Structure formats: C-alpha cells, structure tokens
Structure 1
Amino acid sequence: MLFLKIWYRVTGFFTLAFFKLLYGRNFQHGKAFHVRAGFHVSIEDNGTLHVGDDVFFNNYCSVNVRSDVTIGDGTIFGENVHIYDHNHRYGNPFLPIKEQGYTQAPIHIGAHCWIGTNTVILKGVTIGDNVVAGAGCVIYKDIPSNTIIMQNGQVHSIIATTKEHLA
C-alpha cells in the first residue's frame, strides 16, 4: 500500500508539473494539491484555473476551461468528475454545431466540498462551502453552502450545532 501511495504522489507531481509548464499562469494551484491517474486539464482562450490548498482529484477527472474555474481549499473529487465552464452553441440549424462557437460562464466551487463520483459540473455554477454532491449528479445551477444534493434532485441542508450531530 505504501508503494501505491508513493506512486500516486510521484506521478501526480509530474502531471501537475506538465500542466503548469503547458499553461503557465493560467493554471494556478495551492499547496498539497494531489491528483490520481488520468487527471486532465484543458485551458483554452486565456481561461484560468485556480485551485486552492489541499485539493484532491481522484482517478479520471477532467477540468475544461475557456473562462474561469475556481476551486476552494480542502475540496475533494471522486472518480470521473468532469467540470465544463462552456457549452457549444447550437442555435443555427444551417451551420454545423462545431462551427457555432461556445457560450461560457465561470464556475466557483467553494471550500471543503465533496463532489461524488461521476458528477458533472456545468458552466455558470457557484457551489457554496461544505457542499456534498452525491454520485452521478449533474450540477447545472447554484448550490448554497452547507447543502447535500443527490442525483434524484433532493436537497438537504446540513444543520449541526455540535460535533456529535456531525458524526
């Protein structure tokens, strides 16, 4: 197990170094930013990716940026999470979709969130602090802080006054 942890840290270090070299100032990250296998970043059109301290991306996640994506401190992502701050335009039926350009809007993901496996986060979304997004969610509108959201659309506020309530 120790070997596997060392392997993840070493390969993650080189992955982040590659993206930093490729995107320069457009890719900014804090301390203790860790990624696992298959992490991918795509930054186009002078977009920017800002990642806070102590952020973790599990296997096969991707962040696709044309505008701006900001991720707060201590946020963790399950496997296969995809983040897109843009979408294809498709209003002209006489022009191929790939030639119609994009709409785009920034994404802000707060601090200390847990984004579950196979979640997709779409353009223009603000996710507050301490949000839990269950596996398989498609997040297309804002989520307030201290909220749990599940794939079936149920939303629950986290209300706790003592540590015992959080256990």
Structure 2
Amino acid sequence: MIRTVFILLYNLIRNIIYRIRYKSRYRACAVERISPGASVRLYGRSECRFGRNIELAPGVDIQTHGNGSLDIGERTYMNRQCMISCHNRVSIGAGCMFGPGVRIFDNNHKFSKDG
C-alpha cells in the first residue's frame, strides 16, 4: 500500500515536471503508473501522448526524436526493459501488453541516400 502511494505521488510530481519541461508536447493523465526506473525523453520538436491507466515497468526507455509523434493507448502495459525509439510516428492501441525486452523502432541506422 505504501509503495503504491509513493509511486502515485512520484508520478504526479514527474507529470508536473514533464508538462513544464515539454509543455504541450507531452500529454498524460494526472496519475499514471510509470516506474521511477522508467525513462521518457523527448528531443527536438517531438511529442508523446499517453492514454489513461498505462503502466511502465522499471527499465522501460521511451524516446522521441526530431518531429516524431508517439501515441500509447489507454490500459497499455510495458514490461521490464522495453524500448520505443520514435523518429517519425509510432501508435500503440488501447489494451496492449508488451513482454520483457520488446523493442519498437520506426527508424534504422542506414545513413546513405539509398537506405
């Protein structure tokens, strides 16, 4: 019970900080279950939207870059060590459950004009 209250308070504060830091580019409900060990970072003019009642376990790493747009639907669960790297657009529907170590990329590492 105490752990749950701590996580909810932590997330409320984190949500306020993200809203100040990222302004309208970051949208989430006031109370989410995002582990203190999870990371959400927005670079450039990218944006991130979380639906209601999501849960991100420890080690989850979410990054958006450039003009990327990430949408995660309500009631979505991401287990330990999952990663999303979004440079263009990633959209995850409602009620999805990701097992440990899932990686989602909408980009590659080829830098030639042919790749």
Q: TM-score, normalised by structure 2?
A: 0.82
Letter in 1 for 2:8: R
Larger radius of gyration, structure 1 or 2?
1
> Could you tell me the percent identity over the aligned residues?
13
Asked if residue 84 in structure 1 is aligned to residue 67 in structure 2, the reply is: no
Gaps in structure 1 of 5+ consecutive residues: 86-103, 125-167
Flag structure 2 segments of 5+ consecutive residues without an equivalent: 108-115
How many pairs are equivalent? 105
Cα displacement (A) at 1:13: 1.8
> Which residue of 92, 97, 101 maps to 1:118?
101
Q: Is the 8 A contact 2:15 2:30 kept in 1?
A: no
TM-score, scaled to structure 1: 0.58
| Superposition CA RMSD, Å | 1.5
Deviations 1:22-47 (A, max 9, x none): 10100011354221122211111211
Aligned residue in 2 for 1:27: 26
Alignment of 1:94-113 (within 5 A): 104-113=87-96
Q: Is the Cα contact below 8 Å between 2:8 and 2:32 reproduced in 1? A: no
Bigger relative contact order (CA 8 A; separation at least 6): 2
By how many angstroms is 1:82 displaced?
A: 1.0
